[in-house]
Structure 1
Amino acid sequence: MTTPAIELQDIACTFISKDAPGQRYTAVEHVSLTVGAGEFVSVVGPTGCGKSTLLNVAAGLLAPSRGTVRIFGQPLTGLNARAGYMFQAESLMPWRTALGNVMAGLEFRGMPPAEARAQAEEWLRRVGLGAFGDRYPHQMSGGMRKRASLAQVLVLDPDIILMDEPFSALDIQTRQLMENEVLALWQAKRKAVLFITHDLDEAIAMSDRVVVMSAGPASRPIGEFAIDIPRPRDVAEVKMTPRFLKLHAAIWGVLREEVLKGYQQQLRRAA
């Protein structure tokens, strides 16, 4: 068997309150999850179920309280140097142009400026921003900024791409364009992708596999579904197919009760 790109084994993450040191909160517990080389895996679940926590563990930004993390078979210590991370929040530096932002990671790695510029320009072209390299983030639309952020990650040619609800702030038309853009780029390179989303439609349309998390605290995987819809896919068109609808019904059957639990917990905390 091929060594997984990401392997989380019996992961738990417990946090201690800064205001009340005696209080602890376990975000995730008993989480085992793998992402194969070249596989696109989405994690869905209620708000507050620890999806982003797992992504931070895979990125090496957070050390688990218990369990082991392996990247291509090797224990992860410190930051995951083989991964690129696309955040939900804006990640572009406002004082740099689109070109300057995409060049930044290459420059930090010590690449000569001329080579870094050439590679950054190529990736801006790939994401449809070839004519906008001189624009600053405040001069770009939300979709353009997301394209620049995507180029910023992919120009580094990571073996693993970690994505934390990267399109949630976009309007539906721009979101679908970006989803198809990501699928086309992924299809060409076949990197391992761990994708976090609240949107079940998005997860099914894009993924090879969807993992469902329980409501927190101590969230854990409670369902795993292979998405056997043929590729390539158009995220808008695939949602009208009978197989998509059948998968959606099956996954929502597992997810619905957890979403209701999570909503009730939010109401209790707000009371």
Structure 2
Amino acid sequence: MTPALFLDNISCTFISKDDRSQRYTAVADTSLSIAPGEFVSVVGPTGCGKSTLLNVGAGLLQPSTGSVKVFGEPLLGINRRAGYMFQAEALMPWRSALQNVIAGLQYRETDESKARQLGEEWLARVGLQGFGDRYPHQLSGGMRKRVALAQTLILDPDIILMDEPFSALDIQTRQLMENEVLELWSAKRKAVLFITHDLDEAIAMSDRVIVLSAGPGTHPIGEFVIDLPRPRDVAEIRSEPRFVELHQQIWSVLRDEVLKGYQQQKKAA
């Protein structure tokens, strides 16, 4: 099967803005493949380059070496077949919830009445029916994340890129959002590349978990198939013996890298 997204031997090296003779390799010799309909999570120490890989897959960052293919075709410029849900809020404060949700459709010059109809449908799907006229400052953090989710999915992308989208939420809201994402994903089974620092979240949601090393020169050091049955409730699945077993296996690989990353941050500080 042709991968939905294939990062082939990617390296990303940056030049220091203070000293152009200094270079920093954030990601080195990394290959990553996501099949159509597959939910893949990437975990690793803080600052190891997880978001860098996501930006490469989105076409927002050109790798120093290597190539990116989308459904077998070389990626040139922005990945038009992908939707990107950012860690930080990307809602426009001067637009209502509905106007934020349909912004992408408007940029694509979709008929306004059709766009508004779809926007209302997606607000209902994420549990925000009747909140379309609210502005971001009038919504809770969880509600704003629901708007951002609808904003991403309304464009019906073939690939969904998610960069720690729920990290700022409280645990109860977070689990509700995780279950909502899984329910929406299961309906159409799009390819998902999910970046998270939360190993529990990665296991509960994914088909496969990839572990990255500490930087510099981040690269995959472990890959685990998550053979838990679906559908899943992210809270209930955590008590399953197989979940605990998988967590122990993955943490045994991830633990040393987290400690390395922590020590590197201490030195940098």
Cα deviation for residue 131 of structure 1 reads 1.2
Taking the aligned partners of 1:119 and 1:25, their CA distance within structure 2 comes to 44
Taking the aligned partners of 1:104 and 1:183, their CA distance within structure 2 comes to 24
Task: Report the equivalent of 1:28.
Answer: 27
Question: In the TM superposition, what whole-angstrom CA distance separates every residue of 1:32-80 from its partner, at most 9, and x where no partner exists?
Answer: 0000000000000001110000000000000000001000000000000
Q: Secondary structure at the match of 1:239?
A: helix
Cα deviation for residue 237 of structure 1 reads 0.2
Superposed counterparts of 1:128-139, under 5 Å: 128-139=127-138
Taking the aligned partners of 2:169 and 2:46, their CA distance within structure 1 comes to 19
Taking the aligned partners of 2:19 and 2:213, their CA distance within structure 1 comes to 26
Superposed counterparts of 1:80-95, under 5 Å: 80-95=79-94
Superposed counterparts of 1:43-192, under 5 Å: 43-192=42-191
Q: Secondary structure at the match of 1:243?
A: helix
Cα deviation for residue 103 of structure 1 reads 1.1
Superposed counterparts of 1:12-23, under 5 Å: 12-23=11-22
Letter in 1 for 2:197: H
Q: Secondary structure at the match of 1:235?
A: coil
**Identity of aligned pairs, percent?**
74
Taking the aligned partners of 2:78 and 2:100, their CA distance within structure 1 comes to 21
Cα deviation for residue 97 of structure 1 reads 0.3
Cα deviation for residue 119 of structure 1 reads 0.4
Cα deviation for residue 242 of structure 1 reads 0.1
Taking the aligned partners of 1:160 and 1:9, their CA distance within structure 2 comes to 17
Letter in 1 for 2:165: P
Task: Report the equivalent of 1:225.
Answer: 224
Taking the aligned partners of 2:244 and 2:17, their CA distance within structure 1 comes to 45
Task: Report the equivalent of 1:193.
Answer: 192
Task: Report the equivalent of 1:236.
Answer: 235
Taking the aligned partners of 1:260 and 1:194, their CA distance within structure 2 comes to 25
Question: In the TM superposition, what whole-angstrom CA distance separates every residue of 1:114-168 from its partner, at most 9, and x where no partner exists?
Answer: 0000000000000000110010000000000000000000000000000000000
Letter in 2 for 1:3: T
Letter in 1 for 2:250: I
Q: Secondary structure at the match of 1:70?
A: strand
Taking the aligned partners of 2:206 and 2:260, their CA distance within structure 1 comes to 25
Q: Which runs of 5+ in 1 are unaligned?
A: none
Q: Secondary structure at the match of 1:183?
A: helix
Letter in 2 for 1:98: A
Letter in 1 for 2:193: L
Q: Secondary structure at the match of 1:64?
A: coil
**2:194 is the alignment partner of 1:208:** no
Task: Report the equivalent of 1:265.
Answer: 264
Cα deviation for residue 202 of structure 1 reads 0.1
Taking the aligned partners of 1:175 and 1:199, their CA distance within structure 2 comes to 11
The runs of at least 4 aligned residues of structure 1 exceeding 6 Å deviation read none
Measured on the aligned residues, the alpha-carbon RMSD in Å equals 0.4
Taking the aligned partners of 2:263 and 2:104, their CA distance within structure 1 comes to 42
Letter in 1 for 2:18: D
Aligned residues: 269
Q: Which runs of 5+ in 2 are unaligned?
A: none
Taking the aligned partners of 1:164 and 1:264, their CA distance within structure 2 comes to 24
State TM-score, norm by structure 2: 1.00
Cα deviation for residue 19 of structure 1 reads 1.2
